[in-house]
Amino acid sequence: MVQTHQVKHRPQLGDEAATYVRALVMSGELRPGTQVRAESIAEVLGISTTPAREGLQSLRVEGFLELVPRRGFQVAPLTGQDIRDLFRAQALLGGELAYRAAAKAGAADLVELEALHHELIAASARRDTGLLEEKNHAFHRLINRLADSRKLILVHGLTTRYVPRMFYASIPGWQEATVEDHTEILAALKAGDAAAARRAMEEHLTRAGELLAEHFDARGAEGMRRTSA
């Protein structure tokens, strides 16, 4: 008797597709009005069309894509100011988490944070963008965990999902700003200065948003010039 094996659909593939397209939109690689086909996304990611389409549908719910009759999915309107607004919300939440972390971080936590910071500096010096993004994420994740507030972390996570980690290091000025800002954040945490930690984190995330917004606007202006040429 021949046994048949049913291939299980992994729901996370839809999330992977959504993350990929979301990053392309936020970085300006996909401009507003651009058509996005599930078949093309599936081919790039090496997945089937069904989870790719599910990912696009979730982005429609989030407001990144629109479903246009006879055209399918296309990128919804997005401006640099929209990006600044997203990062402002993230900065307020991140600042509060840093404020709480400053009061709760122990000696071992601070040693771990400092080690991550030095690894980030080394990755930046080598222009190892993959490792740089990994250490940057780990640095922020540890601070958030130290804040010990599940609800704040949950809401903060909803804002960070809009941010394209994989494109950060390609934005001019981001690597240098990250090293400089993390130095100030770490100093505030080591001093146990909660107010300074909040301020440094808010300024850091606001600056990151400004860099991404400027990058987004510049790509839009470049695209318009090419279209009119």
Q: What is the CATH number of the domain that holds 186?
A: 1.20.120.530
Our count of domains for the chain comes to 2
Task: Extract the runs of DSSP E, i.e. beta strands, from 46-203.
Answer: 65-68, 72-75
Mention every residue, 6+ apart, whose C-beta is less than 8 A from residue 88: 206, 209
Are 54 and 86 part of one and the same domain?
no
CA-to-CA distance for 95 and 143, rounded, in angstroms? 10
Is residue 201 located within the same domain as residue 141?
yes
pLDDT in tens, 52-71: 999 999 999 988 999 999 88
**Residue 6 pLDDT more than 60?**
no
Q: How many helices (H) and strands (E) does the chain have?
A: 9, 2
Q: Are 174 and 189 in contact (CB under 8 A)?
A: no
Cα distances (angstroms) measured from residue 195 to each of 9, 25, 98, 113, 192: 47, 35, 9, 18, 9
Kindly state whether residues 98 and 188 are assigned to the same domain.
Answer: yes
Q: Does 65 share its domain with 104?
A: no
pLDDT at 29: 85
Is residue 153 in some structural domain? yes
- pTM (2 d.p.): 0.80
Mean pLDDT of the chain, nearest integer = 88
Q: Are residues 69 and 95 in the same domain?
A: no
Structural domain harbouring 219: 80-225
Furthest-apart CA atoms within the chain: distance in Å = 71
pLDDT higher than threshold 70 for residue 225: no
